[in-house]
Amino acid sequence: MSGIDGKVVAITGASSGIGEATAVLLAAGGAKVVLGARRADRLEALAARITSAGGAAVWTRTDVRRREDLTALVAFARQEYGRLDVLINNAGVGPISPLDELRVDEWDEMVDINFKGVLHGIAAALPVFRAQGAGHMVNIVSTAGLRIVPNQAVYAATKNAVRTVSEGLRQEAGADLRVTMVSPGYVGTDFADSVTSPGVRAQIVASQQAFAIPPEAIARAIAFAIEQPADVDVGDIVVRPTAQA
C-alpha cells in the first residue's frame, strides 16, 4: 500500500465494524490512524492493538452529533501528526422501522448522526484540506439509498442526503481535493443492535446471518480509493454480497 504509507487518516465510528476494520487495515499499510467514536474503552483497546502490531494509532472520544467534537478530532490529528490527509466519515446508526411506528426520536437520531455528523466532519476538515492544498474526504453511504425498500425510508434518506452533499463537494473541490463515496450492502457488523422494531430486527439479523460480508471487504474498498495517486479520484464504490438482491 505505497499510496497509504505515512498518510494521516482520521476515522469516525472507529470503535467497531467498518471503522475498526478500516483502521486496522490502513495502519498495517503504514497509515497513522486517528480514531474517533463514542465508546472510549473500545477505542483505547483498538489503539493498543494497532500499536502492539507496530502501527501508529491515537484516539479521542468523538460524538459526531457535536460539531465541536469533529473540530477537536481534526485538531488532534494535526497536533499528533502535523497534518490530516484523509477524513473517513463512517459513524452511523440504523434504527430502521416502518414509518407507521412513528419512532420519531430514532428518525432524529439518524438525521443527527448519519447526515449532520458528516456535515460536521466536512466543516472541520475542509478548511484544513484547503490550507494544505490537498485532502481526501471519504463518506460511507449505503446500498439502502440505491434501492429503496420498506422500513428503510428515513435511513435511506439520510444516506442519500450524504450522497448529494458528497457529489456537490466533489464538484466544488477542484483539482487538489478528492471525494469518495463508499456504499456497503449487508455487512457483518452490530448494525442490528440499534434496531428496536422487533420484526425488522429479526429480518436484519436473518439477512446478516445468511449472506453478510465481513467489514474487511469494505475496508479494502476504502483503502483502494485512498491509495490511488493524487490525480485519481475514485468517486463512488458499491460493495455488496453477491447474494444481495
**Which residues are tagged catalytic?**
155
Cell of residue 29, nine digits? 499499510
Half-sphere exposure of 30 (CA within 13 A, CB side): 9
CA 203-17-219 angle, to 5 degrees, is: 115
Long-range CB pairs of 163-167 (<8 Å, 24+ gap) are 165/118, 165/119, 165/122, 165/139, 166/137, 166/139, 166/141
How far apart, in whole angstroms, are the C-alpha atoms of residue 70 and residue 222?
20
| d(C-alpha 236, C-alpha 141), whole Å | 10
SS3 114: helix
Contacts for 100 with CB less than 8 Å, ≥ 6 apart: none
